[in-house]
């Protein structure tokens, strides 16, 4: 796959295959996917439902293991890391925004946002300022002590974004970040992501089926029946 930007390669996925066994048949969710992403690039992966884009994103974010193939972030091969090593790497360098927010229902918005800092043993002073800026930018300052069940879908999504960004990750993965939002909210959330990406000089990889969002990316990749190819629309 070609890179739109000429920066250093930050993410490299090579020959990723992911298969699931369902009763007697084997379903290939990702079929030899190979691509590279440069530092600071914004890449969108589009495709129909069930085409395997979320699975690919999870593998690239180190949340799932491929059956074969390698994923490297900044030259560090995620697929060769042990579970603990990978967990620490994820916590420090990768941020993930899940499709359905995945907020812990028993925790308040603030506690949910601070989970990555707790997991990576970050001292309070290291994120205090950053947290203030994040919640202000994401407009959730007055909702920090509410449980997820007391927040709207848009607010929950913002909390999920704040959680993904709190440790200042180098690469942010977002799985349908606007999937559950109306147009106005969706645009606003995307704007926020782009804004933080620029401010924090992050790499952003988004999975979406919304072409209007994908159109804002530096590069679009298309997933079709598990196969990844450049979008030539």
Partner 1 sequence: MAYRRPYYNEDHKLVRYGPVDFIKDSIGAVIRFFSPSNIKFAFRSVTAGFREFAAFFVALSLLQSLFWMIWLRNDSYAAEAKKEAYSGEGYNLIVEGIDEEAWADLYNKQFVFAEARTVEERGYERMDRETYFTGSAEYMIRLKFVLTEDSVEYCGRFARKYTLNREEFSLSYGERTGYLGKIASVRGRSVLTTVLAGLLAAAILMLLFYIRTNRNKFMYGIFVSFGGGFSKLMETAGWEMFAVAILTFLPSAGLSCLAYFLIARFQGAEFVFLPQRIPVALLWILCAVLLAAVPGIFVLTRRTPVALLTAADNSNYVSSPRRSFRIFGKSFPYHYELYGFVRFRKYYAMVLLSAVLFTSLFSCGLFFADMKRAEGEAAHPAFTVTSGGEEIDPLDIDALADIPGVKYISFGSYVFATELRSIVLLSDRQAAGISSKTVKDRTTGLVADNNVRYGLLSERLVTETAKGMWSVEGDLSKVAGSDIYVAVSTTVSNRYAMDFRVGDSIRIGVFESAGRPLSFEKPDRLYALSMLVNEAYFDYIDVTVAAVVDDGDTSDTYCIYLSDSLFEKVTKRDASVTEADIYLDQTVRTLDLGGIRESVVKIMTGYDGYSVKSLDAVFDYNLYKRAGERLPIVICAAAILLISPMVWIFSQAAFSAKRETEIYMLSAMGGTDRDLWKLFLFSGGILALLASAVTAALGSLINYGVFCFANYLLPSLGMGESVRYRYLFSVPGFLICVLLSAAGALLSTCLPFITYKKNRDRTERAASGEVRRG
Which position among 28, 70, 79, 102 is part of the footprint of partner 1 (CB under 8 A)? 102
Q: Does 119 bind partner 1 (CB under 8 A)?
A: yes
- Burial class from Cβ neighbours inside 10 Å (0-12, 13-18, 19+) for residue 167 reads buried
Q: Decide if residue 150 touches partner 1 (CB under 8 A).
A: yes
Shortest CB 199 distance to partner 1, Å: 16
Nearest to 189, CA basis, from 210, 168, 220: 210
Rounded least distance, CB 81 to partner 1, Å: 8
Structure tokens of 128? 């205090």
According to the binding rule CB under 8 A, does residue 167 interact with partner 1? Answer: yes
Q: Which is nearer to partner 1, 35 or 173 (CB)?
A: 173
Distances (CA, A) of 228 to 56, 85, 135, 200: 9, 28, 35, 28
Instruction: Establish if 85 lies at the interface with partner 1 (CB under 8 A).
Output: yes
Q: Rule CB under 8 A: say whether 88 interacts with partner 1.
A: yes
Nearer to partner 1, 199 or 215 (CB): 199
In whole angstroms, how far apart are CA 206 and each of 177, 194, 219? 8, 11, 11
Q: How far is the CB of 230 from partner 1 (least distance, A)?
A: 25
Residues within window 186-225 making contact with partner 1, judged by CB under 8 A: none
- 17 is a site residue for partner 1 (CB under 8 A): no
Question: Is residue 178 near partner 1 by the rule CB under 8 A?
Answer: no
Binding footprint of partner 1, residue count (CB under 8 A): 38
Q: Rounded to the nearest 5 degrees, what angle is found at the Cα of 94, between the Cα atoms of 145 and 209?
A: 85
The DSSP line for 12-31 is EEEEEEEEEEETTEEEEEEE
* 165-to-44, 144, 146, 158 alpha-carbon distances in Å: 18, 16, 20, 10
Point out which residues bind partner 1 (CB under 8 A).
8, 58, 63-65, 74-76, 83-85, 87-93, 96, 98, 102, 104, 106, 115-116, 119-121, 143, 146, 149-152, 155, 163, 167, 170
């Amino acid at each position: 796959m070609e890179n739109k930007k000429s920066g250093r390669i930050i993410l490299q996925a090579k020959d990723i295959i992911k298969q699931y066994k369902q009763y007697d048949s084997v379903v290939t969710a990702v079929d030899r996917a190979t691509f590279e992403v440069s530092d600071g690039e914004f890449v969108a992966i589009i495709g129909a439902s069930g085409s395997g884009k979320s699975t690919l994103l999870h593998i690239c974010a180190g949340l799932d293991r491929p059956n074969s193939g390698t994923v490297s972030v900044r030259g560090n091969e995620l697929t060769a890391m042990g579970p603990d090593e990978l967990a620490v790497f994820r916590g420090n360098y990768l941020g993930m925004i899940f499709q359905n927010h995945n907020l812990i229902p028993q925790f308040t918005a603030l506690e949910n946002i601070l989970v990555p800092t707790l997991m990576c043993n970050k001292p309070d002073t290291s994120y205090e300022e950053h947290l203030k800026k994040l919640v202000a930018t994401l407009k959730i300052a007055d909702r920090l002590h509410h449980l997820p069940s007391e927040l709207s879908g848009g607010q929950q999504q913002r909390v999920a974004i704040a959680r993904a960004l709190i440790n200042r990750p180098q690469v942010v993965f977002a799985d349908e970040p606007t999937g559950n939002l109306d147009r106005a909210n969706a645009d606003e959330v995307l704007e926020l992501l782009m804004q933080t990406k620029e401010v924090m000089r992050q790499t952003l990889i988004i999975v979406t089926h919304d072409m209007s969002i994908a159109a804002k990316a530096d590069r679009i990749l298309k997933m079709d029946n598990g196969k990844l190819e450049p979008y030539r629309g």
